[in-house]
Amino acid sequence: MLLARLRAEVVGVGRRLLQTGLVVGTSGNVSARDPETGYIAISPSGMEYDRIEADDVPVVDGQGRRVEGRRRPSTELPTHLLVYRHRADVGAVVHTHSTYATVLAVLGWSLPPILGEAAAVLGGEVRVAEYATTGTEQLGRYTVEALEGRQAALLRNHGAIAVGRDLREALQAAWVLESTARVYWAARVAGSPLLLPPDEVMRVRQGYLAHYGQRPGGSGPRSVEGVRTSP
């Protein structure tokens, strides 16, 4: 089986999302890009996460053509493809409709840097992407725009997207996004949240990137901030 390990990891992340309540039923989707071939393993359309096995995970090329697998790829494939095309630093994408991130997305509130951990992992203020119909290329373009220099974005009237160099990092970003959105929502309801100063956001972000680059199995420091999206 082509990309057996990566496809098994996509299954594992889907189950973790289900267990931690970030997805319900068949909502959301997960993908990872193989650095050698550039092929993308993406969760199949319309299957519950606890029923998916590795061979249910289709493998597509950078144009979205199916290379292996009998299932149809997630309907959000166009957004995943555009994110990979515009972000060389991204090796995995996690899309959820997690509750508090979606609450902010429905309110049209971006998520400012309020906690050090979130600023480190997400890269600063998490923007809200313009609305476009699910499954369209336009949603992908708006998502790429909102994601610039960040590891997460909110999708207006829809949900959230988190990215990382690998699945582990994308999953972490999805968790941090949801828990911080929950804190922010409660803080906004209760009063006026205090924000971290910009120099502190930069300091914790750089510390995180330096640490992340050195983790075992990593291939050395890589710039996430420095990667710009092309038009």
Q: How far is the CB of 44 from Zn ion (least distance, A)?
A: 15
- Pick left, alpha or beta for residue 130 (phi over 0 → left; psi -120 to 50 → alpha; otherwise beta): beta
Min CB(158)–Zn ion separation in Å: 6
Q: Which string of b and e fits 173-210 if b means at least 16 CB within 10 Å?
A: bbbbbbbbbbebbeeeeeeeeeebeeeebbebbeebbe
Nearest to Zn ion of 178, 209 (CB atom): 178
Q: CB of 70: closest distance to Zn ion in angstroms?
A: 23
76 among known catalytic residues: yes
Name beta bridge partners: 94: 30, 162
Tell me, residue by residue from 152 to 171, as one string, x for binding to Zn ion by CB under 5 A and - for no binding. Answer: -------x------------
Residue of 36, 48, 53, 76 marked catalytic = 76
**Distance of alpha carbon 133 from alpha carbon 82, whole angstroms:** 15
Phi, psi dihedrals of residue 93, rounded to the nearest 5°: -130, 130
Of 71 and 97, which CB lies nearer to Zn ion in the complex structure? 97
Q: Give residues 104-163 in contact with Zn ion (rule: CB under 5 A).
A: 159
Q: Which is nearer to Zn ion, 96 or 201 (CB)?
A: 96
- For the annotated catalytic residues, the residue numbers are 76
Binding site for Zn ion (CB under 5 A): 159
